Structure 1
Amino acid sequence: MAIVDTAIDGIHYFLSLTLTQQITILVVVPFVYNLLSQFIYSLRKDRVPMVFYWIPWVGSAVQFGQQPYEFFEDCRKKYGDIFSFMLLGKVMTVYLGPKGHEFIFNAKLSDVSAEDAYKHLTTPVFGKGVIYDCPNSRLMEQKKFAKFALTTDSFKQYVPKIREEILSYFTNDVSFKLKERDHGVASVMKTQPEITIFTASRSLFGDEMRKQFDRSFAQLYADLDKGFTPVNFVFPNLPLPHYWKRDAAQQKISAHYMKEIKRRRELGDLDPKRDLIDSLLIHSTYKDGVKMTDQEIANLLIGILMGGQHTSASTSAWFLLHLGEKPDLQDDIYNEICALLKEKGGDLNDLTYEDLQKLPLINNTIKETLRMHMPLHSIFRKVMNPLLVPNTKYVIPRGHYVLVSPGYAHTSERWFENQDDFNPKRWDTDAAKANAVSFNSADEVDYGFGKVSKGVSSPYLPFGGGRHRCIGEQFAYVQLGTILTTYIYNLKWTSKVPNVDYQSMVTLPELPADIVWEKRETCMI
């Protein structure tokens, strides 16, 4: 009772003050408390150094949100590879470089959780029961279900379908209209998200589902994509227009998938080798005998396509922009393609999945783009148990977050010489190959969806690592390789590389991001 009486007296006293005095207290007290708490924190030898901040709760959000890699480098110079910062009420502990990759990606499942870090962000976008809205063991099995449609035999079927979609886009889209024009201007932030959606839906979901994907459907995915912003990470549900669009898009896309699932169920004509939808309708029973519901399958389809959308749309946009500044490199790639086709005695339509493996400059261009522009600049985990940082006295408390940034290492001079130079040919050098060797040759582990490399101590990890490593790496190279060969064989272009827009959680080019194109003599349209 004494505490209640004291609180009541305090409220009465506060209300008796003038408005100016009340405002002063409301402003000054949080700032004083903020400075005092940081001072006390700094005295603890078992805590990671904290980046100083003036504004309570907001912390270093502005610096991190505008230029994360510059922010990390500035902090590294002051504190070393391990430091923490306040991000909108959340304490983020950063561990930069390969040792940080190993510490976070290979941390015990009981100690760190991606589900608790991302669930509130991803569930409104993907839907319930999938990805991070389920126990980790379920997610590992869902990845295994999806991998049934990501086989070498599947990739062989996908290449001609992807190429056909791109040529159709070149023919019909207003950015190109190649039957009517021999030159023009295209915004890669319009063309590449659309091409990504159309090619992925055709190859992964089948012809019938592709027919339902038009520009309005691509726009629905763009509305879903807006659900992945820093403000959504902190406030997953607010009464704002982009939240309403996100929710409406999720419901409409889900309804489309449910309609197709129902149609296939009724027909009963299911072939696990035909496409991802059939594969999931057949292979979606967990080890404990529980079957995924049709709604969960529809939600998983959203998640799979969204994952590929981020990677391929941003990566293809970036390699088009970089190549626009390097016409000689375009010619080198063009000559590599033509030399291979000459050996085969055909044109681009004869280029197969196996042929993509014989085009090192194509694959190195993709690899270099992912080095300079890893789609996600930061990856989070929530700490579930006090976590000791190896070889230090630092303990990260339960409820804090750990942050890893392979993209920082990709663009650091500590691991890549001339890191700001877009140079696919760097991957032919022994030094660059060495940067990836630990990732490719380390011991393998099976988290439930097939064996992956356990080693994550490489500075080059464009698809992440550990149990949450992206399963779509091979598909991404098939899709991106087919996109790049089709562009190069039909067009040549110029452009200026814009700055990176870090305001979303995906590293996209700032607008305008245009290419000025013209037909090549080998254009197929």
Structure 2
Amino acid sequence: MALLDSAIVAYNYFVSLSLTQQVSIIVFAPFIYNIVWQFLYSLRRDRAPLVFHWIPWFGSAIPFGMAPYKFFEDSRQKYGDVFAFMLLGRTMTVYLGPKGHEFVFNSKLNETNAEDAYKHLTTPVFGKGVIYDCPNHRLMEQKKFAKYALTRDAFKTYVPKIREEIISYFKNPEGFNMGEKNSGVANIMKTQPELTIFTASRSLLGDDMRKRFDASFAQLFSDLDKGFTPLNFVFTNLPLPNYRKRDNAQQKISATYKSLIEKRRATGDVDPNRDLIDSLMTYSTYKDGVKMTDQEIANLLIGILMGGQHTSAATSAWFLLHLGARPDLQDELFEEVSNILKEKGTSNLNDLSYEDLQNMTLTNNVIKETLRLHMPLHSIFRKVSKSLLVPNTNYTVPAGHYVLVSPGYTQTSDRFFPNASTFDPHRWDSNNLADKNADEGTVDYGFGAVSKGVSSPYLPFGGGRHRCIGEQFAYVQLGTILSAFVYNVKWSLKGEKVPANDFTSMVVLPEEPAEIIWEKRKTCTF
């Protein structure tokens, strides 16, 4: 009763004030509360130190969103490897470095989960019933279903298909138009997303589906891609054009997949060794006997293709830019491809096989170094299900908060990689940090054995139960793209230096304009 009386007195006092005074209180009260709350939080010894922020709710969203690695390093200098910050109403506890990788990636399923962290972002893009819109054990089985199309034997058949798509794109007037031009300028933020979606669809989804892909279909994937922005992360649905384009693209792409699935079922034309579509149609029955619906298979196909497209489009764009600034490395790569072909008694790039790609050390190290400097996702987080003690500290992360880890920060830190900001593929010649955990054993979460060790500073494909299953496919696709470029053209940057990171989307891309100037080599196919 006393509380109610106090509230009435406070209200009466408030309405007695002038309009200017009322507005001032409404505007400034949240800021005052925010500062008082942070002061009280700082007195606690069981919480990670909080990065100070002036703006309520938004917190550190601006410095984190504009330059996350700088934000992490500045915070580390002040607070250490473990700290917290406010991000759009969410308290994020960050643990930087390899120990942080262990803390987050090796956390138990009942302690943290990715589903609650990402579901509202991914479900409108991929669709219902797949990836994070299902229990974790379902996701593990979905990854197992997809692995039937990611075998060594499958990769052998993918290489010539990917190369055919690249050569076709080189010749296409909508691509490089090399059939008519000996040189030109390419906007790689247009060419690489198109090229990767065409090569991925041809290899993974097969000839029937590839025939349905054109520039307009690639645009649909671009519209879906725009569903992965910080705004989408906070607000799942808004009456904005990009949200409508996202939903329209999801419906059209999944309907296209579903129509082919239904056609094959009706005719009995299903061969599990033909492509990923047939593979999923054949093997997508869960352990409890429940079968994935055709709509869920279509949605999973979107998730798989987009996962690969993100990594390969960004990574191929970045290595073209870095190599554009390093003609010496282009020459080394050309020599590597030429020597492989010469040993086979040929000069025809079509003779380059999957096995040859495995033996191209510099080509693979260029991809590895590009992924080190430009990990596609700058931050990975999980929602905490029950209170967690941060190892070797007195800090507790309460249920409902988030934990965040950033392998991308670690991979670009001089603490772990000498001259970390320098693009140097030869750093991997004798110091293969990627294999650091090879002797730490494996664990199978349901989709095949993966390394237990996540304490390496190099984890471009993540770790633990959510480790990306497409790593080997990415190297096959990217290795084929890179070898096709260096054997057909020379290129340089159109601009003085490699563009900076653009962190405005969830995937780290080059700032535009990102263009290269190319000219044909004598060995060019055309």
Band the TM-score falls in, shorter-chain normalisation: over 0.9
Name the structure 1 match of 2:461. 463
How far, CA to CA, are the matches of 1:291 and 1:70 in structure 2? 46
Deviation of the 1:237 alpha carbon: 1.0
Q: What letter is aligned with 1:461?
A: L
The answer for the alignment partner of 2:378 in structure 1 is: 377
The aligned runs of 1:253-292 (5 Å cut-off) are: 253-292=253-292
Could you give the per-residue CA deviations for residues 395-432 of structure 1, whole angstroms, max 9, x where no partner exists? 00111100000000100001111111111111013xx3
Residue aligning to 2:18: 18
Q: 1:254 touches 1:299 (CA, 8 Å); kept in 2?
A: yes
Quote the Cα distance in structure 1 between the aligned partners of 2:6 and 2:83: 40
Deviation at 1:439, TM superposition (A): 2.9
In 1: Cα distance, 2:306 partner to 2:67 partner = 25
Query: What secondary structure, in the 3-state scheme, does the structure 2 residue paired with 1:440 have?
Result: coil
Which residue of 1 is the match for residue 351 of structure 2? 350
Q: Give the AA of the match of 2:456.
A: S
The letter of the residue matching 1:385 is K
Matched, 1:490 2:488: yes
What pairs with 1:313-324 in structure 2 (closer than 5 Å)? 313-324=313-324
* Aligned counterparts of 1:133 and 1:356: Cα–Cα separation in 2: 36
Q: Distance in 2 between matches of 1:154 and 1:299?
A: 22
Tell me which residue corresponds to 2:84.
Answer: 84
| Of 166-175 and 402-411, the range deviating more from structure 2 | 166-175
Task: Provide the residue aligned with 1:364 in structure 2.
Answer: 365
TM-score (ref. length: structure 1): 0.98
Q: 1:523 is matched with which residue? A: 524
What is the rounded CA distance, in whole Å, between the counterparts of 1:282 and 1:74 in structure 2? 51
- The superposition leaves residues 323-360 of structure 1 with CA deviations (integer Å, 9 ceiling, x where unpaired) of 00000100000000000100101211000000001100
Deviations 1:98-133 (A, max 9, x none): 000000000000000100000000000000000000
- Quick one: distance in 1 between partners of 2:439 and 2:450? 10
- The answer for the alignment partner of 1:478 in structure 2 is 476
Preserved contact between residue 183 and residue 518 of structure 2 (Cα < 8 Å): yes
* Matched AA of 1:223: D
Q: How does 1:55-454 map to 2 (within 5 A)?
A: 55-346=55-346, 347-429=348-430, 432-433=431-432, 435-454=433-452
Contact preservation (8 Å) 1:353, 1:478: yes
2:177 partner SS: coil
Q: Which amino acid aligns with 1:469?
A: R
Question: Structure 2 CA distance, aligned partners of 1:176 and 1:116?
Answer: 43
Q: For 2:162 and 2:318, how far apart are their aligned partners in 1?
A: 19
Identity across matched positions, percent: 71
State the shift of 1:27 in Å: 1.5
2:54 equivalent in structure 1: 54
Give the Cα separation in 2 of the matches to 1:382 and 1:33. Answer: 26
> Counterpart of 2:487 in 1: which secondary structure?
helix
Q: Residues 175 and 184 of structure 1 are in contact (CA less than 8 Å); yes or no, is this contact kept in structure 2?
A: no
Query: In 2, Cα distance between the equivalents of 1:33 and 1:189?
Result: 44
For 1:410, the aligned partner's letter is Q
CA contact 2:169–2:175 (8 Å) conserved in 1: no
1:270 CA drift (Å): 1.0
CA deviation digits over 1:24-68, x for unaligned, max 9? 111121111111111111111110010011111111111000110
**Where do 5+ consecutive residues of structure 2 fail to align?**
none
Name the SS for the 2:281 alignment partner: helix
Q: Secondary structure of the residue that 1:403 maps to in structure 2?
A: strand
The amino acid across from 1:471 in the alignment is I
CA contact (8 A) 1:141 1:448 kept: yes
Equivalent-residue separation in structure 1 for 2:221 and 2:173 (angstroms): 18
Contact 1:411 / 1:419 at 8 angstroms: preserved in 2? Answer: yes
Residues 23-38 of structure 1: matches in 2 within 5 Å? 23-38=23-38
- The separation in 2 between residues aligned to 1:207 and 1:9, in whole angstroms, is 75
Residue 206 of structure 1 aligns to a residue whose secondary structure is helix
Q: Which amino acid aligns with 1:497?
A: V
> RMSD in angstroms over aligned alpha carbons?
1.1
What per-residue deviation string (whole Å, max 9, x for no partner) do you get for residues 76-98 of structure 1? Answer: 11101000001111010100000
What do the CA deviations read for 1:188-225 (whole angstroms, capped 9, x no partner)?
10000000100000000010100111011111101101
* SS across alignment from 1:439: coil
Q: What secondary structure does 1:321 align onto?
A: helix
1:269 positional shift: 1.6
| Bigger shift: residues 235-244 or 381-390 | 235-244
Give deviations 1:356-415, integer Å, cap 9, x for gaps.
011000000000000000000000100010000111111001111000000001000011
Return 92-101 or 495-504, whichever deviates more: 495-504
User: Is 1:511 equivalent to 2:512 in the alignment?
Assistant: yes
Q: For residues 114 and 187 of structure 2, what CA distance do their matches in structure 1 show?
A: 35
Contact 2:229 2:506 in 1 (8 A): yes
Partner SS, residue 86 of structure 1: strand
Partner Cα distance (2:504, 2:464) in 1: 27
Counterpart secondary structure, 1:316: helix
Cα drift, residue 7 of structure 1: 4.3
> Separation in 2 of the partners of 1:212 and 1:5?
70
Q: Secondary structure at the match of 2:437?
A: helix
> For 2:435 and 2:341, how far apart are their aligned partners in 1?
31
Secondary structure at 1:184 match in 2: strand
2: CA distance, partners of 1:303 / 1:80: 36
- Alpha-carbon distance, 1:271 to partner: 1.0
Superposition TM-score, scaled by structure 2 size: 0.98
Residues 377 and 508 in structure 2, CA contact (< 8 A), matched pair in contact too? yes
Cα shift at 1:302 = 0.4
Q: How far apart, in 2, do the equivalents of 1:52 and 1:200 lie?
A: 44
Q: Larger deviation: 260-269 or 98-107?
A: 260-269
Report the residue type matching 1:253 in the other structure. Answer: I
**How many matched pairs?**
522
- Read off the aligned partner of 2:67 and give its amino acid letter: Q
Name the amino acid aligned to 2:509: L
**How far apart are 1:458 and its partner, in Å?**
0.1
Q: Given residue 505 of structure 1, which amino acid in structure 2 is its aligned partner?
A: M
One-letter identity of the residue aligned with 2:172: N
Letter in 2 for 1:270: V
- Report the residue type matching 2:401 in the other structure: H
Work out whether residues 438 and 456 of structure 1, in 8 Å CA contact, stay in contact via their aligned partners in 2.
no
Contact 1:175 1:185 in 2 (8 A): no
Report the Cα distance in structure 1 between the residues aligned to 2:8 and 2:226, rounded to whole angstroms: 45
The AA in structure 2 aligned to 1:248 is N
Deviates more, 1:420-429 or 1:185-194: 420-429
CA distance in 1 between counterparts of 2:285 and 2:306 reads 23
- SS, match of residue 85 in structure 1: strand
CA contact (8 A) 1:145 1:280 kept: yes
